[in-house]
């Protein structure tokens, strides 16, 4: 699913000299996201494009989603964790959880639900269940309508990647949200003209990286005709790994500059 109006806006601002920063998986680390974005010094015509997985694992997924929804400079593609939240975060499912709900909980959904519950507590600490239901419905409706990729003149921005065996106009959202190995090990560009910038898989696990590369941006060894890497991985893993290397990464599509923020939360 694409949002062509959004793509046209981003491309026009990029052509006009604006900075388009692409940011890897935030996973609920709201303070770290804010610290990183403050360092980007955003001006009119600049964008921050998140690569999905705004939620789960970190302590304040609600804050992350709320900010991305309402900030005029922010937008995001849908990640597999948003997809799980859309399918599982209803009051009915929370009251009678099935195996799919439990799978989401084990993958960080428990911290997301807790942050949403905290967002609707009164001064006495009591939770307003009606308010929780309303905000969950509002946020999941927004997530369900997010694009699964953003296609620009020289870039493709996607959460997980693309199937190298399927034509670009026939790709399934499931692959854009979930694919790993087949995309990472592609021996030729998926798109001859565009570099694919993606998250989803921590870069330490991508081809050619080892434990020594925790927190490092990954560049595919496969090249486009213009010499650029066919793919760039930006999930530098904010939620686990060596403490001093847990980083959230932003890359500027106009200049190639990379800015990293080490995790602020404990």
Segment (H or E) for 22: strand 20-23
**Residues with Cβ within 8 Å of residue 12, at least 6 apart in sequence:** none
Rounded Cα–Cα distance for residues 256 and 210 (Å) = 23
Q: What is the token pair recorded at 112?
A: 């997301």
Rounded Cα–Cα distance for residues 148 and 53 (Å) = 12
Phi, psi at 50, each rounded to 5°? -85, 145
Half-sphere exposure of 206 (CA within 13 A, CB side): 28
Phi, psi at 157, each rounded to 5°? -110, 120
Angle, vertex CA 235, rays to CA 77 and CA 158, nearest 5: 30
Domain 4-76+148-262 fold: Purple Acid Phosphatase; chain A, domain 2 (3.60.21)
Nearest of 255, 166, 249 to residue 202 by alpha carbon: 249
Longest Cα–Cα distance of the chain, Å, equals 62
pLDDT tens, residue order, the chain (266 aa): 999 999 999 999 999 999 999 999 999 999 999 999 999 999 999 999 999 999 999 999 999 999 999 999 999 999 999 999 999 999 999 999 999 999 999 999 999 999 999 999 999 999 999 999 999 999 999 999 999 999 999 999 999 999 999 999 999 999 999 999 999 999 999 999 999 999 999 999 999 999 999 999 999 999 999 999 999 999 999 999 999 999 999 999 999 999 999 999 99
Rounded Cα–Cα distance for residues 9 and 38 (Å) = 22
Residue spans of the domains in the chain: they are 4-76+148-262
Burial 60-89 (b: 16+ CB within 10 A, else e): bbbbbbbbbeeeebbbbbbbbbbbbbbebb
pTM exceeding 0.95: yes
CB 53 within 8 A of CB 126: no
């Amino acid at each position: 699913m694409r949002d062509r109006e959004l793509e046209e806006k981003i491309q026009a601002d990029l052509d006009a000299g604006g900075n388009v920063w692409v940011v890897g998986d935030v996973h609920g680390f709201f303070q770290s996201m804010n610290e990183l974005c403050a360092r980007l010094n955003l001006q009119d015509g600049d964008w921050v494009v998140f690569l999905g997985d705004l939620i789960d694992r970190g302590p304040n997924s609600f804050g992350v989603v709320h900010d991305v929804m309402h900030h005029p400079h922010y937008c995001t593609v849908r990640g597999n964790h948003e997809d799980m939240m859309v399918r599982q975060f209803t009051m009915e499912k929370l009251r009678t959880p099935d195996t799919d709900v439990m799978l989401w909980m084990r993958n960080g959904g428990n911290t997301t639900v807790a942050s949403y519950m905290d967002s609707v507590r009164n001064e006495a600490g009591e939770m307003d269940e009606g308010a929780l239901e309303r905000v969950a419905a509002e946020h999941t409706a927004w997530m369900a309508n997010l694009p699964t990729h953003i296609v620009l003149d020289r870039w493709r921005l996607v959460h997980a990647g693309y199937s190298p065996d399927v034509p670009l106009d026939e790709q399934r959202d499931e692959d854009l949200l979930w694919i790993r190995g087949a995309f990472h090990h592609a021996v030729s560009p998926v798109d001859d003209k565009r570099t694919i910038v993606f998250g989803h898989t921590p870069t330490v696990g991508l081809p050619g990286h080892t434990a020594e590369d925790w927190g490092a941006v990954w560049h595919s060894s496969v090249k486009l005709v213009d010499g650029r890497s066919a793919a760039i991985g930006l999930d530098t893993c904010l939620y686990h790994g060596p403490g001093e290397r847990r980083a959230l990464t932003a890359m500027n599509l106009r200049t190639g500059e990379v800015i990293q923020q080490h995790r602020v939360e404990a």
